[in-house]
Structures are given as structure tokens and as C-alpha cells.
């Protein structure tokens, strides 16, 4: 704000003897220049909506809360990843030479050689429903040996095995992986509610800071007007004193009034700078922002007649929408999940399992070479076993060579004190959260009642301040007219002038208090986001 010229203390006139016909000569007030506001070289208008938009973009606490919500989303993805199927693969090539001491061991030279090339891909995983597990393994290999009794050489043994395991009691309703997934989802909702609460708090603080700046600027204008009126009164008193119509001490009284209002003006300018910097610290991204060197001029007008809800509607809305209650509810749901998991761990384990294997085999037929005195008959191999690798796979799909197994596995602990203690801890935590919820409800009740009372009294105080300001202005004008007519005194004029300026200052203070009371009520009833059209999809 540009400096203005104001009068400082003038020295009292020398009351020397002078001829009756001469006028009293008084020294004029010295003019001093009020210093420019530090670091300000211009001004820019700022609406309340723009201030809110900037604080939502730049507030570091909100940025941290958004990152925490993002992390919670990644935690959900990580918990879902537990149920991702796992591919496994085992492949090898082997060669074995085994000593043979028996004539019927298949070797005439006392050793048996075998080579194998094998691969066993598999897929395993956990079911996201009912706690089951599954596994599917495909074994296939090529085997070749020099055994005399080998009828297929080389041969291609293959098999497909399906393994299923299903809990029937413990871990049927919930287990550790599903618990972690559900807790991760609840934590995502919890961080969203915490972000909403932080947005409400930050926006409320920004709105209140905006109206504090508006008050500081209006109060500076009031104090500037006070100095102007005091200077006018000083000039009037000085002229009348020079004409012998007033005593010189009345000029000194005017000087005192000017100096007093000067102090108030300088204090108001300092308060304006502090309020402006406080708002800038909230809405600006960094120290390099050009708005640091601009004076902010609030342009949003207050609507003092805004409709306020009834007490019943305000409390009902707050109990439905306050994020603190939502956070408590989500914490209770997480505790209930923990309780379910601990209760599940206390149960006996009864698991059903099933295994189904389909086997295939094929190979190149080989004529048997007998030993002296031994006969191997003249039988031939079944055609289904004669062939290459493809024939072995065909035997798997034919279902001619299958093995099935189904059963139940039971594990019954004699006592599980760990699970019992964990259940007791979860029940205690549930009681604590119930008590905390009641405490939160009581605090919200008091908060809403106080906020609504604050709006009603602030509105009434603003109306009273308006009336007092108008009345004080009329009294001041009347006192000036009486003074000009010679029926009043300088003391009464200055008293009315001071009362008028004080009433104006109380009026702008009451106006700011009403605006801040509206913001407090919006926060108490959780209507801040709705009132300022803020979407939590992209807060």
C-alpha cells in the first residue's frame, strides 16, 4: 500500500504576549511519509474461491494425505497379488550308470546306463473364496536306457496332476490373506476419510484467514479515515485558534488526537501485513511465487443473511457426515475383521483334499534279447503304447490311465491359549472403539451447538454493530454542528469522533466474525466441501 502523508506531533505554540490586534501564530504540523509496506510493489484481487483452489493445490499437509491415500491403494493391489497364480518350472537332463549284479537286472556287462531329459511346468495358487488352494503340474520326459528288458526305448512318460485343498472348518470364512485384503480395502476408505477431514480443516482455516485479511484491510481503511478526520479537526482548530476563537490548548488536543489515530493506523497496517502473509503462506506453492510481492485485495462479499439450519437438522447432518464418525466406524470394521480371524484361529483344522492324476506313456518298441536258458515269450505291446511323444500326450487326454485320491485331514489342538488371548484383545479393542464413538458423538453435539450459537450471536452482534456505527456517525455529525454553532466543546467533538471510529472498527470486526462463524458452522456440520463445491474425487 502506498504511503500517505500524515501529521505527527506539532510543537505547542509559544504563548508570548502579543498585541490584542495580532493573530496567534501557530506552527503547522510537520508532514511525514508513512513507509511503504515491506516487499509490496503492486496489488491483485483475490476471490475466496481462488484462495480455496490455491490452498487445495499447494498445501503440503494435503499433498501428504493424498500420497497416503495413494499408498493405501497400492496396498490393496499388493494384498490382491497374494491370489495371483504362480508359475513354476523344473527342467533337467540326467545320466545315470547303475551297477547290476543280477543276471535278470537287464545288463550283461554289470552296469545299466540311463539318460533322461525332463521338464515339469506347474501352476499353483490360492483361491480368493473359502480359503482353498490349487495346483496343476505337468510332468513329461524322454528316457533312454540300455536294459535288455526294455520294451520301449526311448520312451516318453507324461502325467498331469491336479491337487485341491479346501478348509472345512478353520480358515473357511476368513484366513490371513483374505483378512489382509479386506483390511487394506478398509484402510483405503480410512485414508480417504482422513483426507476428507484434512480438506475440511484446511479449507476452513483458509476461509477464516481470508476473512481475517478482509477485516485487516477494512480496518486499515477505517483507521485511515480516522486520521483524515483528525487532521481536518486539527486544521479547523488551528484556524480558529489563530483567529482567537479557540485557546491554543485546543490545537494541542487536536495534535494528540492525530497522533493517537496515527498509532492505530500503523498498528492496522502491521496487522494487515501479518494477515496477508499468513494467507500467502497457505495458498502459495513456494517462496518464488510472484504473489509474495503483491498486496491481496479480497473481492468476495459476505452474505450476512445466509440461511442457517435448525439445531436438529444441523446435529443430524453432522452425525451423518462428520469424517471422525466414519473413521471410527471403519476402525470398528477392521477390529471386527481381526476378531473374526482370531476366532477362526481358535477352531480345529479340518481340510478336505483331492488329487487327480492322468498318466501317459509311449515309446519305440524294442525286441527283447534273451539270456541262455530264458524265454520272454512272443507277446506284443499294446498299440496304445507304441508311438512318439504325441502318443504319450494322447494317452493323457484319453483318461485310460488315471489315479484319484480324496480324503480329510484333521488337526485338533488340545488348547490354543494364543488364539484365546487374541480374541480377548479384539473384544477389548471393540469396547474401546464403542466408547470412543460415544465420546466423538458427544463432542460433535457440543461442537454443532457451539457453532450454531456462534453464528446466531455473531449475526446479532453484526446487526448491533451496524446500528451502533450509524448512530455514532450521526452523533459525531451532530456534535460537529453544535461545535460550529458554539454550543459544544472540543473535548466532546473528539469524544464523539473516537466513539465513531471505534464503532466503525467494531462493525468490520463483527462482519469478519460472522463470516468466520459461518465457516465454523460449515465445518461442524461437515458441509464445507458442499458449500464450496469441492469434489473428493480430486480434492
Q: Are 325 and 443 found together in one domain? A: yes
Q: Are 255 and 392 found together in one domain? A: no
- Digit-coded pLDDT (tens) for 185-226: 999 999 999 999 999 999 999 999 999 999 999 999 999 999
| Per-residue pLDDT band at 24 (split at 50, 70, 90) | low
Q: Is residue 232 part of a domain?
A: yes
pLDDT average, residue stretch 326-331 = 95
User: Terminus-to-terminus CA distance in the chain, angstroms?
Assistant: 34
Residue 195: predicted pLDDT: 94
Which element (helix H / strand E) includes 323? helix 323-345
Torsion sign (Cα): 45, 51, 54, 58? positive
Q: Are 493 and 397 found together in one domain? A: no
Q: Are 244 and 214 found together in one domain? A: yes
Rounded-to-integer distance, Cα 449 and Cα 441, Å: 12
- Digit-coded pLDDT (tens) for 401-415: 999 999 999 998 888
Last residue of a domain, one of 412, 436, 464: 412
Residue 272: predicted pLDDT: 96
Residue 386: predicted pLDDT: 87
Q: Which residues contact 459 (CB under 8 A, 6 or more apart)?
A: 304, 514, 517
Q: Are 325 and 363 found together in one domain? A: no
Of 91, 147, 148, 92, the residue nearest 114 (C-alpha): 147
C-alpha cell of residue 378: 512272443
Q: Is residue 320 part of a domain?
A: yes
Q: Are 121 and 207 found together in one domain? A: no
Q: Is residue 317 part of a domain?
A: yes
Residue 44: predicted pLDDT: 94
| Per-residue pLDDT band at 162 (split at 50, 70, 90) | very high
Q: What range does the domain containing 283 cover?
A: 44-75+180-299+309-335+426-531
Question: Higher confidence at residue 296 or residue 14?
Answer: 296
Rounded-to-integer distance, Cα 462 and Cα 406, Å: 83
Rounded-to-integer distance, Cα 482 and Cα 62, Å: 60
pLDDT average, residue stretch 232-237 = 87
C-alpha cell of residue 363: 515309446
How many structural domains are present in the chain? 2
Q: Is residue 33 part of a domain?
A: no
DSSP state of 402: E
Q: Are 454 and 328 found together in one domain? A: yes
In the predicted model, is pLDDT for residue 177 greater than 80? yes
Rounded-to-integer distance, Cα 537 and Cα 539, Å: 6
Q: Are 99 and 185 found together in one domain? A: no
- State the CATH number of the domain containing residue 434: 1.20.1600.10
Q: Are 442 and 488 found together in one domain? A: yes
DSSP state of 538: -
Q: Is residue 359 part of a domain?
A: yes
In the predicted model, is pLDDT for residue 311 greater than 90? yes
Residue 510: predicted pLDDT: 96
In the predicted model, is pLDDT for residue 9 greater than 50? no
E strand segments, 478-530: none
In the predicted model, is pLDDT for residue 12 greater than 50? no
Q: Is residue 434 part of a domain?
A: yes
Q: Are 499 and 408 found together in one domain? A: no
Rounded-to-integer distance, Cα 279 and Cα 296, Å: 9
Of 495, 496, 478, 475, the residue nearest 487 (C-alpha): 478
Q: Is residue 206 part of a domain?
A: yes
DSSP state of 5: E
| Per-residue pLDDT band at 105 (split at 50, 70, 90) | low
Q: Are 364 and 445 found together in one domain? A: no
Question: Higher confidence at residue 321 or residue 368?
Answer: 321
| Per-residue pLDDT band at 373 (split at 50, 70, 90) | low
Of 16-25, 283-292, 377-386, which has the strongest mean pLDDT?
283-292
Share of the chain above pLDDT 70, in %: 89
- Digit-coded pLDDT (tens) for 441-500: 999 999 999 999 999 999 999 999 999 999 999 998 998 899 888 888 888 988 999 999
In the predicted model, is pLDDT for residue 129 greater than 60? yes
Q: Count of CB atoms within 10 A of residue 106's CB?
A: 15
Q: Are 408 and 430 found together in one domain? A: no
Question: What is the residue-averaged pLDDT of the chain?
Answer: 88
C-alpha cell of residue 188: 483405503
Greatest extent of the chain over all pairs of C-alpha atoms, in Å: 170
Q: Is residue 15 part of a domain?
A: no
Buried b / exposed e over 75-95, threshold 16 CB at 10 Å, is bbeebeeeeeeeeeeeeeeee
Residue 107: predicted pLDDT: 63
Q: Count of CB atoms within 10 A of residue 456's CB?
A: 13
| Per-residue pLDDT band at 379 (split at 50, 70, 90) | low
Amino acid at each position: 500500500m502506498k504511503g500517505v502523508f500524515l501529521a505527527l506531533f506539532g510543537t505547542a505554540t509559544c504563548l508570548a504576549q502579543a498585541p490584542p490586534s495580532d493573530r496567534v501564530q501557530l506552527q503547522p504540523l510537520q508532514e511525514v511519509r508513512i513507509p511503504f509496506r515491506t516487499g509490496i510493489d503492486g496489488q491483485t484481487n483475490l476471490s475466496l474461491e481462488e484462495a480455496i483452489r490455491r490452498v487445495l493445490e499447494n498445501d503440503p499437509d494435503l499433498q501428504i494425505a493424498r500420497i497416503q491415500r495413494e499408498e493405501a491403494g497400492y496396498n490393496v493391489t499388493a494384498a490382491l497379488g497374494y491370489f495371483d497364480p504362480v508359475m513354476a518350472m523344473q527342467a533337467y537332463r540326467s545320466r545315470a550308470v547303475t551297477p547290476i549284479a543280477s543276471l535278470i537286472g537287464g545288463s550283461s556287462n554289470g552296469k545299466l546306463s540311463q539318460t533322461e531329459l525332463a521338464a515339469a511346468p506347474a501352476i499353483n495358487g490360492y483361491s480368493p473364496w473359502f480359503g482353498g488352494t490349487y495346483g496343476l503340474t505337468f510332468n513329461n520326459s524322454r528316457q533312454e536306457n540300455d536294459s535288455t528288458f526294455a520294451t520301449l526305448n526311448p520312451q516318453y512318460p507324461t502325467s498331469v496332476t491336479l491337487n485341491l485343498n479346501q478348509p472345512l472348518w478353520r480358515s473357511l470364512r476368513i484366513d490371513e490373506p483374505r483378512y489382509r485384503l479386506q483390511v487394506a480395502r478398509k484402510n483405503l476408505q480410512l485414508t480417504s476419510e482422513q483426507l476428507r477431514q484434512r480438506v475440511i480443516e484446511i479449507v476452513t482455516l483458509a476461509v477464516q484467514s481470508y476473512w481475517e485479511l478482509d477485516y485487516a484491510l477494512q480496518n486499515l481503511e477505517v483507521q485511515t479515515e480516522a486520521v483524515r478526520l483528525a487532521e481536518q479537526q486539527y486544521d479547523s482548530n488551528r484556524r480558529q485558534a489563530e483567529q482567537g476563537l479557540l485557546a491554543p490548548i485546543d490545537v494541542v488536543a487536536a495534535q494528540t488526537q492525530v497522533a493517537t489515530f496515527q498509532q492505530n493506523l500503523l498498528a492496522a497496517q502491521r496487522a494487515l501485513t501479518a494477515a496477508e502473509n499468513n494467507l500467502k503462506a497457505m495458498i502459495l506453492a513456494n517462496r518464488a511465487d510472484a504473489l509474495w510481492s503483491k498486496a491481496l485485495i479480497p473481492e468476495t462479499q459476505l452474505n450476512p443473511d445466509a440461511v442457517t439450519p435448525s439445531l436438529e437438522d444441523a446435529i443430524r447432518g453432522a452425525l451423518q457426515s462428520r469424517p471422525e464418525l466414519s473413521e471410527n466406524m471403519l476402525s470398528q470394521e477392521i477390529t471386527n475383521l481381526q476378531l473374526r480371524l482370531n476366532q477362526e484361529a481358535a477352531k480345529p483344522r479340518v481340510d478336505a483334499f483331492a488329487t487327480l492324476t492322468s498318466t501317459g506313456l509311449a515309446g519305440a518298441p524294442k525286441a527283447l534279447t534273451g539270456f541262455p536258458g530264458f524265454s520272454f515269450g512272443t507277446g506284443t505291446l499294446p498299440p496304445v503304447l507304441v508311438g512318439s511323444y504325441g502318443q504319450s500326450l494322447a494317452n493323457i487326454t484319453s483318461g485310460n490311465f488315471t489315479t484319484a485320491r480324496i480324503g480329510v485331514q484333521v488337526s485338533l489342538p488340545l488348547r490354543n491359549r494364543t488364539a484365546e488371548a487374541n480374541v480377548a484383545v479384539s473384544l477389548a479393542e471393540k469396547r474401546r472403539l464403542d466408547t470412543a464413538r460415544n465420546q466423538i458423538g458427544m463432542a460433535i453435539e457440543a461442537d454443532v451447538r457451539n457453532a450454531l450459537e456462534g453464528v446466531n450471536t455473531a449475526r446479532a452482534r453484526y446487526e448491533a454493530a451496524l446500528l451502533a456505527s450509524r448512530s455514532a456517525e450521526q452523533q459525531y455529525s451532530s456534535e460537529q454542528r453544535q461545535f460550529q454553532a458554539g454550543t459544544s466543546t472540543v473535548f466532546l467533538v473528539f469524544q464523539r469522533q473516537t466513539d465513531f471510529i471505534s464503532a466503525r472498527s467494531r462493525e468490520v470486526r463483527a462482519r469478519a466474525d460472522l463470516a468466520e462463524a459461518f465457516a465454523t458452522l460449515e465445518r461442524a456440520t461437515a458441509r464445507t466441501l458442499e458449500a464450496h463445491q469441492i469434489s473428493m474425487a480430486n480434492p
